[in-house]
Structure 1
Amino acid sequence: MSMSVDEIRNVVLLFSNPSWGGVGTVSSTVIRNVTALSGHMAYSSRYTGNTTVLSSRFAGTTNGIIQGLLYVPDLPYGHECVEETALHVPQSVVRQSSLPPTNYYLIAIAPWISARCSRAYLSSARTAPVRGFLFYLPGNSTEAPPAAESELWNIAEEFEWKAQSGYPIYAISSMAGQVMMQHLSLYSGNLTEVPFGNNISARFQAEPEDYARIWTELVISTPPSSFATWLYFLIVVGVLLTVIASASFFMHLVQARRRYSLQRRVVSGEVKLESMGIKRLTVPMKHIETFPLFTYHYEPDTTSPPASPRSAKSPRSRIRRDSHGHSEGRGSRTILSETISEKTPSGSLAAVATNYQPYCEICLEPYQNRVTIIRELPCGHIFHPGCIDEFLNENSSLCPLCKTCMMPPGFCPKITNLMVKRERAIRKIRGHVDDNDVDNSEGGKQPRWKSTFRAKIFGGGSPASSTSTELQFRSKPVERQPSQPLLQLSPETPAAQAPSQSAPIPALHKPTALARERMRELAGTELDDGEFGSSGWRRVRNKVFPGFD
């Protein structure tokens, strides 16, 4: 961990010493900060910069400060380094035995005379609660000591002593070290021996046996490590990515369940995608070819008013088509027809839905009696095969007139998130309408508004009939004309049943440019896929967080 010493502060503190009263040695407490209260009576100093960090291991700081009582570690009695350092370490200097009995944190100081003596001081300091060690080279220099990589500080192989020390080690300038050592020797005895001791005793009412000692503070700054900064950044990014991935996975799971639910309801016929304005669909040509072909036949009956045209028991001949979509007759290619009885009291769904249809609603061209080939949809409306085939296969899956869906039963396209979003929006709108209906009905002003509104909008005469999410569009019934009977197909008479065997097969009607333009009008506005015109970041957001909007 890289660090630097910004400042070294020394002050004098006054500690109590109750042992003078014969009570015994007990914990000492700080009475006063003499330097702060009477700076002219106590030593104080500040050294800024010119400090070299030799080892920063185990540098425990409190708010960026390493502090403790300043002292010189004791060397064993008779140690050879006692003589070698005697010139720089006075005999009256503060030792561990000269400190208050309580184990305060300590800051050690010693001269760097030789590698052997420095190793002895470091070994002695390990037995005390030392928080930091200050070395200084003998001399009067005020310059910063050599760098930590210098061979001067090598007192063991490969600088192993730095790893063995349990406290940080710093080197200060020679002048700062000598001044601190000199004052450390002055503040080592009782109050009768320290500078201005009598004044301190009188000012603070201290006893002679109380302690006046130097308290040292090392202001440490630790610049942010690039590795630590990157590690913190990677942790933040990792947490953020985890949150994003979890949210994205959850939203994808929810959307998958919604797509499955919508697909199930589409297959069951509960939801009609195009009828609800969710997705534009087209009918496969194979399914369109299953809708029957007939020869248009209309002959008004002026003798009696028309009745329901089709009997429940009237036979309907099946059409066998050739490769061109035409049917085959007996022994020759001909267009078969269907016989519709006008005496049946109740007509079929096709007859009721179609009524009188004299022309194709797509190309607006009239049908020719006994000539025009027509295709009948399941809803009962008839069109030119060329017109309705192209309309259903390329424009829309709904009948151009009544908007009935012509898709095969059980058919379901690929369900997308946009389709789910639109279907849910429609259900929310309907739920909002239902709430308004409940409020109106509870008020008593319009008790039947709920059922009437649902019957008009969603079809059915009771609330139960409107549970489906399909919006049903109903076309206005065609008024039956008394002089214009319903569509008649060729009766089973030799003259009107079908063209003769030698007669040519009528060609199928081909849609014109005007008919194609009308197809687009009948199909309505194209439903966009939600991606057109949206910005790139919105598309990315919708892929990562589906259903965000």
Structure 2
Amino acid sequence: MSMSVDEIRNVILLFSNPAWKAAGTVSNTVIRNITALSSHLTYSGRITENITVLASKYAGTANGVIQGLLYIPDLSADDPCVNQTAPFVPASAARQADLPPSNYNLIAIAPWINAACTKSYLASAHTDPIRGLIFFRPSDDASDGPPPADSALWDLNDGGRWRTHSGYPIYAVSGQTGEQMMYHLSLYSGSVPAVPFGENLTALYNLDPYDYVRVWTELSVSTTSSLSSIWIYILIIAGVLLSVISLASFSMHFVQARRRACLRRRVISGEVNLEAMGIKRLTVPIEHIQSFPLFTYLYDPSDGSPPTSPISTLSPRAPRPAKLGRSSWGRSDSLVTTTLTARVVPISEKGLETPFAASTVATDYQPTCTICLEHFQNRVTIIRELPCGHIFHVACIDEFLSENSSLCPLCKASMLPKGYCPNITNPMARREYALRRLRDVSAYDELEDGNNAHSRIFTWGVRAKRRILGTGTVHTLSTLAQLESRPIDKQHLRLSHVTQDEDSQLSSGELARKRMRELAGSVSDDGEPELKKWRKMRNRVFPGF
């Protein structure tokens, strides 16, 4: 910011009954603007040109006006500057001792003769309650005005310290203007009878001989921005960019919030299985796991039929001849059925989007627990049957579902309670949205391959999707339903990278837990990886689409 002085205005004020003229009395501080009342009888000066601002650091003002009583700073009697400045400083001009005892603001005026005298005036004014100081160079030409603020004539050989450590603003006027102000200050620095037209003022206003007049100075200042046009342009561009960034961030957060809400509704309704799609690792509450039925494994080879696994009465299978078995865990009797033919249930057309995706594996003959690979003992082993029809050891399946995965180890059907939905995050919503778009593009590719007559009729949006997602990826990946319809090979459930020697060194519990992790498979973490602080901040501001 830069400052300029628009006008310096001098008027005459009347102070009545000064306290120092009557010991023990108190000044009533009654002030009259004699210039406003009788302008033809008193002095009034207005300076609007040739005003230079030498220091504006301490020029703070609320209304753009700096004002105070005009005076000359005192110098010590032994200061050589007293004699050097005597031709330019009238002896009758008001000093601080000639001003009212009240706490009035002051405006100082002094000649600029040399560096030493200027420093003396600055030091003297620093101890007074002044609002500004006006210098004038007696040798300056009135027509040219004072030198500019960056002129070497204002150098005091202190590196400009006098400008920044003065404690008040400093101005300069031409030599002729300064001498006129000094002259009028000397005329209006005494009592009323001694000033010009004093008798007229006394008769007009019935003044007391002890009343006195002083010069009151007002400086009208204005501040302007020192920023160049290029900086203003840069600020405008920065404001526009900030607005665009804020709008983009708000839009991303809004879109992500809508997608999270949409995904939450679809998960609750059972349309989306997050873990089966590889989005989020989920576990089943132990209370819900314990609601699955328990049976005693029953297999009688004397029947001459293939071994079968028990089926719950709650299972949606067709009724068949049955044998009764009682759970050894104190549960009520459960109906156990056998059949001569193994069933093969095709996978659902919705693939892994359905909460219970069927398996292509016959579930009627299950002599072994897939988790621990141990055989069931007839009429001894307690088994738990899942809603999908697969059976496991109670301890194995309970630990697997409560700590490793919410999906059946064999058919990958969801075992979560109906209406259950975990906390949906932005990475989860983005991944599900990308998989859904991938299926849409794959469906268009299948339509293109099956109908040659319309193979080239695609909208611009479909072509854009293929360019963004990549055609190679689309053709190599079929729909999720096709991927899940492949038969499950039980031999691959074993850990392929663990040798028999390594397995023999592990206990049965540790080996079962390793198989649980293998059966659960790998699922991408729904959280964000460890990133640097600036990347985390960027992702927080711009969550992306």
- TM-score normalised by structure 2 residue count: 0.48
Larger gyration radius, structure 1 or structure 2: 1
Query: TM-score w.r.t. structure 1 length?
Result: 0.48
